[in-house]
């Protein structure tokens, strides 16, 4: 049993603060890797997840990407940390939490990409300007912030 499950046994569905990390993985052609997640409801999102005990945010990012995509990451660049009342989530099972999400980006990865079928339906690179409609809202915000900070600035 993992840390989150143990915590939930103690506190039930009450709101908790959960740190996590996601990674904007770029293919060098203006595309970002998204996974179509089984939860919530087949929405597209960035690879990543919640921190386990004793992990750094970078270790969390690398572990989660490996588990979900089978890709190993090279150098990670810190983009931002999202926190606050707009990071509140109520899961389908009633669990409530506030995420503190550390966002990294990279174009350095290797391995044969393969979706973890327990968490994802599929993995696919999408153009930064053409994100799927059915996307996790906070992840859309993160990709759009990346585009504003690093793509639009580079083209001016």
The answer to the question of residue 31 being in a domain is: yes
Q: How many domains would you assign to the chain? A: 1
What residues in the chain have per-residue pLDDT under 70?
1, 154-156
The answer to the question of residue 154 being in a domain is: no
Give the DSSP per-residue string, 37-76: ETTTTT-EE-SEEEPPTT--HHHHHHHHHHHHH-PEE---
Find the angle CA(85)-CA(128)-CA(134) to the nearest 5 degrees. Answer: 55
Domain that holds residue 13: 3-149
Are 71 and 25 a contacting pair, CB within 8 Å?
yes
Residue 9 confidence (pLDDT): 94
pLDDT tens per residue, range 45-80 = 999 999 999 999 999 999 999 999 999 999 999 999
Residue 2 confidence (pLDDT): 83
Residue 40 confidence (pLDDT): 73
The answer to the question of residue 38 being in a domain is: yes
119: CATH? 3.90.79.10
Residue 131 confidence (pLDDT): 97
CA nearest neighbour of 103 among 26, 10, 13, 8: 26
The answer to the question of residue 7 being in a domain is: yes
Residue 1 confidence (pLDDT): 63
Strand, coil or helix: 4: helix
Residue 107 confidence (pLDDT): 98
Distance between CA atoms of residues 23 and 48, nearest Å: 6
Residue 64 confidence (pLDDT): 97
């Amino acid at each position: 049993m993992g840390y989150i499950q143990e915590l939930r046994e103690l506190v039930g569905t009450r709101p908790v603060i959960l740190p996590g990390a996601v990674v904007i993985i770029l293919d060098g052609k203006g595309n970002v890797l998204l996974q179509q997640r089984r939860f919530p409801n087949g929405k597209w999102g960035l690879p990543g997840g919640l921190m386990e005990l004793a992990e750094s945010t970078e270790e969390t990012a690398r572990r989660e990407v490996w588990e979900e995509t089978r890709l190993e990451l090279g150098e990670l660049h810190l983009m931002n940390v999202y926190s606050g009342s707009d990071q509140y989530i109520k899961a389908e099972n009633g669990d409530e939490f506030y995420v503190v999400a550390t966002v990294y980006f990279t174009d350095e990865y290797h391995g044969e990409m393969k979706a973890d079928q327990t968490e994802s339906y599929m993995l696919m690179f999408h153009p930064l300007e053409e994100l799927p409609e059915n996307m996790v809202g906070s992840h859309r915000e993160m990709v759009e912030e990346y585009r504003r900070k690093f793509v639009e600035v580079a083209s001016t």
